[in-house]
Every structure is written in C-alpha cells, then in structure tokens.
Amino acid sequence: MEHTVLCRNVSKVYRQDTVAVQALTDVSLEIPRLDFVCLSGPSGSGKSTLLNLIGGLDRPTGGEIYVDGNRVDQMEKGALAELRLRRIGFVFQAYNLIPVLTARENVEFVMQLQGVAAGERTRKAREILKEVGLEDLENRRPGELSGGQQQRVAVARAIVSAPSLVLADEPTANLDSKTAENLMQLLRHMNREHGVTFIFSTHDKLVMEFSQRLITLRDGRIVDDVRRD
Amino acid sequence: MTITPRLAWRNLWRYPRRTWLTVSAIAFSAMLLVFMITLQLGAYDMMIDTSLRVFTGEMQIQRQGYLDKPQMRASVPAAQASAARLRQATGLQAIAVRANGFALASSGTRSYGVPVIGVEPAFEPRVSTLPRLIKHGRYLSGDSAQEAVLGAALARNLKLGVGGELTLLGSGRDGSVAATVLSVVGIFDSGNPELDRHVVEIPLRTFQDVFSMGEEAHAIVIAGPGMEQIKQTEARIAALLPAGQGLVLLDWEKLLPGIKQMIQADMVQNWFTYIILIVVVTFSILNTFLMSVLERTREFGIMLALGATPWRLGGLVLLESVLLTLMGIVLGIVVGGGIAVYLHQHGFTFPGMKEIYAQFGLPGVIYPKLSFASFTLGPAVIFLFTAAAALYPALRIRKLNAVEAMHAV
Ligand SMILES: Nc1ncnc2c1ncn2[C@@H]1O[C@H](COP(=O)(O)OP(=O)(O)O)[C@@H](O)[C@H]1O
Ligand SMILES: [Mg+2]
C-alpha cells in the first residue's frame, strides 16, 4: 500500500440525452504517499472529473481506482461515505462552508459525523483554526469571512479529520494572487506537518509553482507528468 | 449541544419571515382545532345534560329486561324505601321513584291512549325539568293526591284545562281493571313534542293504588351532580344496588342510545371538516419544506462529499420540519387553550341562544371541555400530517448525487 492513489485505465463518459462526452480517456496514475500533486490543464480538460472519481463522488465508466488500497469505483454508497469521512478531505472552489455554522462549527461538523466527543471536537477545532491563523475568527459565520479566510476554514475542516488524502478542486480560483499564494503555502504546510497527500487542480501558473509534481491533462488524457523537486 | 440541532434551528431562521408565516399557519390551525374541539365536546356535554335533565336523568335503576320489554310486572320492589336509602347513603337528593303504566285517557268527549307516570311530587322536580315547566296551574301536591298534570298538546287534544276532570282507564299489575278520575291541576309545555303530546303524570301512591302496584315501581331515577362526576356517581350507586332482586343500573347511554349515535355522527362530520383544514395547511407547509430543501441543494452536496450519509441529511430536514411544526403547535395550543380556559369560566353563548334555551328551563351556555385529549387531539393530528409531509423532501434528499448537487446554484 505504498500508493495513496492508484488509477488504472480510467475513463469517464457523460451521457446527456443522446450526446456522449468523453471526459476522461485511459487515465493511469500512481500517487505515492505524501505527494503534493497539481492537476493542470485548460477548462474542460477533465480535472474536476478525475478528482471526483478519486474521491468516490462519481463512478468511472471503465478502469480501476484505489485509495489507500481500497477499490473505490466498485464500493457501495455507504462504504464510500465512510471512506470519504475517514480518509479523504475535500476543498472546493468556493462556498465550501455551511453558511449557518460558525468557522469552528464548520470544522466540528465533520468530527461530529465521525463521532468525536464534543469536548475533544472543540479542542481539536480550536487547535486547527489556530494553525490556519483564524483563532480570533472562530465564531464568525462564513458570510463574515473573506474568500481567503473561508478557504482556510475549508482547509482546516479537511485536515481536522486526519485524512490520508486531500482533494482540492481549484481552491484558489476565486482568490487574488497574494491570497492564493498564502493558501498554497498553507496547503504545503499541511502536507508536510500532517503527513497528508494532496491533489489539487488549477490552471494558474503561479499555483502550479507550488507543486512537487505537475500532471497536465488535455481533452481527458494525461499529456505530461513531471516531478519538479 | 451537538451540531445537528443547532444546524436545524439556524436553518429555520435563514428566512425568518417565511418561517414565521409557516409557524403562524400551523399555530392558527392548531388554535382553531383546540378551540373547536373543546367547544364541540362541551356542546356534547351540554346536549347530553339538557336531554337528561328534562326527564331521563343520568341513570336509572330498573328490573333487568324492563328497558327492552317494559312490562308492568317487571317492577322494583319497595321502591320508595330503596330510594330513601340511596339518598341517605350517597347524600344525593336528586333521586326519585317512578312507575309507568298505560291507560286510555279521556275527557268528556275524547280519548287517547297515553303513558301514565307515577311520580314522587317531592323528588320529581330534582330529576326532571318538567315540574318547572308547568305553564298553567301547578305541579302535583302530594304522594296520594287525586291529581294529574299533562302535556300542553295532550290537554289541547283532550280539550281539557286546569280544573278539568281526566278519566284514566287501563289494566293493573295483576290484570285487574285500573280506573280513576283525577282533577287536572297543571299543564306543562316542555317544547319536546314527545312529552307534550303524550305524558300524564300522577302522584306515585295514587298510581300504585290505581294500578295495584303495592309498594312497587319501575324506576329509580338518579340525576347526579353533573356530567363530570357521572362515572364516580355510577360506581357509588352500583355498589349500593341491592343484590338478588334482579335490578340493574342503566346509564344514559343505554337509556337514550339515540344521543350517543347523534354525537358520533356529528363527530364524524366535524372531523371531516377538520381533516380538510389540516390537509390544506399541510400542503402549504409541504411547499415551504420543499423550497427550503431545494434552495440548499449545493450545501447538501457539500455535506454528502464530506461523508454525511443521505440518512443524516434526511434526518436534518425532518428535524427542521418537526421543530417548525412544534413551534406552531405549541403556540396554537397556548392561544387556543387560553381561549378555551376563558370560555370555560365565562361560558360560550351566542345572541338569542340563552333566550331560546331559557324557555325550556335550560341554561343555553356551552362550557368548553378542558381535558388533555381536547387540547392535544387536534394538534396531534396536525403533527402527524405535517411530519408525513416532511418525509417527502427528506426522502428526496436520499436521491441526491453529490457532484450534481454541488453544481446546483
Ligand atoms: N455532469 C456532466 N455532464 C456532462 N458533461 C460533463 C459533466 N461534467 C463534466 N462534463 C464534461 O466533461 C468534460 C470535463 O469536464 P471537467 O472535468 O469539469 O473539466 P475541468 O474541471 O478540467 O474544467 C467537459 O467537456 C465537460 O463539459
Ligand atoms: Mg473543474
């Protein structure tokens, strides 16, 4: 189980009425533990599709996908939810948070799903919020936080459940370059300090700079895969 | 507090105006139901009470089988002595003896077959309103007086007035001829055509002499202290019933089965109306529930992605609906119950109602019935309906797909 993620000949076809869209074609990929991987490629190249398949949010049309040695593409729904809850963290492009919950409650929400006791939940949430630099804003609701702060809360929430993998689909797309850079530094910090594998997508050159490994997709195929360290 | 109830509660207040409107709709219907049901049950009690007070009493002691087949020989032995014992043992004064017979009643020119009832003039006014409804003359003066009172319609038909002579001709308990001539001292007008057209009342002893009854009679009529204590009264009397004489205690439901049937029919009709009201409210609530779920599709998608099961999300939505409904119901019970309590103290009547009832010697005021059931029955049905309505959006969530949901705006 040396790989966090393993994809073998993964393809995905979306069917809408009579039209079929080939979103991914024959994608094979190995991502070792603690890797910090960037999926790049133009809009429509299949980045989100691939991340969703790895995260078990959608099923491939063909091929095999493993996360921590578990075959994701054939897992039944309940087991998938459990896998996401325990092993995978998600950060999305925007509006990641539950608007009626405060920053800390958003972080605690996942731990509640995991069944962590209330006291420990609060303690851990405070700790992680401090780590992302939001200790003073824990009682604010998402609407009272800036876009960058919201994304930090989302990162805190993804990390706090101690996953082995975090999937971040264009986490910086709605941020200015300075804020984006800060967020990327935070992700890198989490990758190192918490021993979590990261896969994020972007089409921003500046963001790609942070990756250890840069995979480029075009029309649903991997066209480039370079290690940058 | 765990996060789920907090989440549910705050979700309710995302759109306070919408929530208040929904709560108000539920509260209003709950209030209406509490008000109408307490009033309705109060009206039934009044109706029963009024019907029983006129003549029947709340319960009667009779010989077994007399109710179905009223034969003269199916009598209660030493009836007056028994009644006196009961009065003493229970402290209740509204206990009176009656004997029932049948005779050809005639005046100079006309004759009608009518029931003749022997009553105790001293106690009859306590179990029946008829003695107080004498419109001409007076009521019977004593147990052995050679007097009679009769209904207004019968008096008209016989062309008899106060001071006239009524001849009764029938057969006694032993089959002998029973005949007497009594002077009419009073004419009652109860408004009940059955009674006004048929009934002749004469003193009990006179009855017993004429119909060869000895010390026997046919019924000991008991009018307890009120509908509310009727069960206790019944138990006390039943315990005092002399054994081995074949006597039975019959309650009003057996004596006047028609009332119960009428009430049941009325209840069905009313519930039909209530259910329509509840269904209308339920649909408007269902709409609110659905909207609040649809507009949060994206959020649910995120929660699913984080590893929340559809069950949990369904539970959240259900909890929100339950909270919303409970708020409405509690508010409705408080307001509706408040009105009911006020009317319970002050009585409910509408213009003219009192006057109409007063003619028949009755109060004509409804006191809403306060009980756990009358307060909670309507709201409980509302709760069941809205909970069922909330199941629909809750179950829809189970079909939600995380990826598609997150693409929703
Ligand atoms: N739910 C869907 N239904 C139909 N086609 C889709 C759906 N999601 C994505 N696609 C198509 O699949 C291709 C890849 O999309 P996506 O993975 O979102 O690309 P990216 O994230 O790189 O922009 C695109 O052509 C897109 O139109
Ligand atoms: Mg995308």
Shortest-distance atom of ligand 1 to CA A220: 14
Q: Is residue B35 domain-resident?
A: yes
Same domain for B298 and B209? no
pLDDT band at B350 (very low <50, low <70, confident <90, very high): confident
Query: In this structure, are strands B247-251 and B219-222 parallel, antiparallel, or unpaired?
Result: unpaired
Put simply, the answer to whether B6 touches A92 (Cβ < 8 Å) is no
Residue % of chain B over a pLDDT of 70: 98
* Torsion sign across C-alpha atoms B208, B214, B219, B220: positive
Contact present, B313 and B337 (Cβ < 8 Å): no
Residue whose CA lies nearest to ligand 1 atom number 11: A23
All residues of chain A having their beta carbon less than 8 Å from the beta carbon of residue B14 are 99-100
pLDDT band at B360 (very low <50, low <70, confident <90, very high): low
Same domain for B42 and B168? no
Same domain for B320 and B296? yes
The average pLDDT across B68-76 equals 93
Query: In this structure, are strands A88-91 and A165-169 parallel, antiparallel, or unpaired?
Result: parallel
State residue B330's pLDDT score: 96
Q: How many structural domains compose chain B?
A: 2
Same domain for B203 and B85? yes
All residues of chain B having their beta carbon less than 8 Å from the beta carbon of residue A99 are 14, 299
Put simply, the answer to whether A112 touches B309 (Cβ < 8 Å) is no
State residue B326's pLDDT score: 94
Same domain for B355 and B304? yes
In the numeric block, the tokens 């057996």 are attached to: B254
Same domain for B110 and B187? yes
What is the CB < 6 Å shell around ligand 1? A 14, 16, 21, 23, 41, 43-49
State residue B361's pLDDT score: 62
Q: What is the pLDDT of residues B104-123, one digit of tens each?
A: 999 988 999 999 999 999 99
Q: Is residue B233 domain-resident?
A: no
Rounded to whole angstroms, how far apart are CA atoms A104 and A126?
A: 7
Put simply, the answer to whether B307 touches A81 (Cβ < 8 Å) is yes
CB burial readout B260-280, b (16+ within 10 A) else e = eeebeeeeeeebeebeebbee
Shortest-distance atom of ligand 1 to CA A170: 21
Residue B52 pLDDT > 80: yes
Q: What is the pLDDT of residues B186-206, one digit of tens each?
A: 999 988 888 899 999 999 999
Residue B149 pLDDT > 80: yes
State residue B43's pLDDT score: 86
Residues of B engaging A, defined by a Cβ cutoff of 8 Å: 2-4, 6-7, 10-11, 14, 298-299, 302-309, 312, 401-403, 406
Q: What is the dihedral of CA B68, B73, B76, B81, to 10 degrees?
A: 150
Residue B80 pLDDT > 90: yes
All residues of chain A having their beta carbon less than 8 Å from the beta carbon of residue B306 are 84-85, 90, 109-110, 113, 157
Q: Is the pTM of this model over 0.90?
A: no
Q: Is residue B232 domain-resident?
A: no
DSSP for A37-79 reads: EEEE--TTSSHHHHHHHHTTSS--SEEEEEETTEE-TT--HHH
Per the structure, the complete domain to which residue B142 belongs is given by 59-223
Residue whose CA lies nearest to ligand 1 atom number 16: A46
Rounded to whole angstroms, how far apart are CA atoms B38 and B31?
A: 11
Same domain for B64 and B28? no
Same domain for B192 and B65? yes
Same domain for B358 and B298? yes
CATH code that applies to domain A3-227: 3.40.50.300
Q: Is residue B254 domain-resident?
A: no
Q: Is residue B336 domain-resident?
A: yes
pLDDT band at B160 (very low <50, low <70, confident <90, very high): very high
Same domain for B84 and B45? no
Strands (E), chain A: 3-16, 19-32, 36-40, 62-67, 70-71, 88-91, 165-169, 197-202, 213-218, 221-227
Contact present, A65 and A10 (Cβ < 8 Å): yes
Domain boundaries, chain A: 3-227
pLDDT band at B359 (very low <50, low <70, confident <90, very high): low
How many CB atoms within 10 Å of residue A136?
A: 9
State residue B407's pLDDT score: 77
The average pLDDT across B52-78 equals 92
User: B245 versus A137: which is more confidently predicted?
Assistant: A137
Residue B1 pLDDT > 60: no
Say if residue B243 is exposed, middle or buried (CB neighbours under 10 Å; 0-12, 13-18, 19+). exposed
Token digits of residue A29? 């990929």
Shortest-distance atom of ligand 1 to CA A52: 17
| Tally of helices (H runs) and strands (E runs) in chain A | 7, 10
**Residue where one domain finishes, among candidates B196, B223, B250:** B223
Q: Smallest Cα–Cα separation from B65: which of B194, B259, B245? A: B245
State residue B409's pLDDT score: 57
Quick check: A73 contacting B, CB < 8 Å? no
Query: Nearest Cβ partner of B403 from A52, A83, A108?
Result: A52
ipTM: 0.92
Give the three-class secondary structure for B397.
helix
Between vectors from CA A59 to CA A55 and to CA A61, what angle results, nearest 5°?
Answer: 135
Q: Is residue B250 domain-resident?
A: no
- 10-residue mean pLDDT series, chain A (229 residues): 88 91 95 96 95 95 95 92 94 90 95 92 96 94 95 95 94 93 95 95 93 96 91
Task: Give the residues across from A165 on adjacent strands.
Answer: A88, A197
Put simply, the answer to whether A92 touches B406 (Cβ < 8 Å) is yes
Rounded to whole angstroms, how far apart are CA atoms A83 and B198?
A: 87
Same domain for B10 and B124? no
Residue whose CA lies nearest to ligand 1 atom number 12: A23
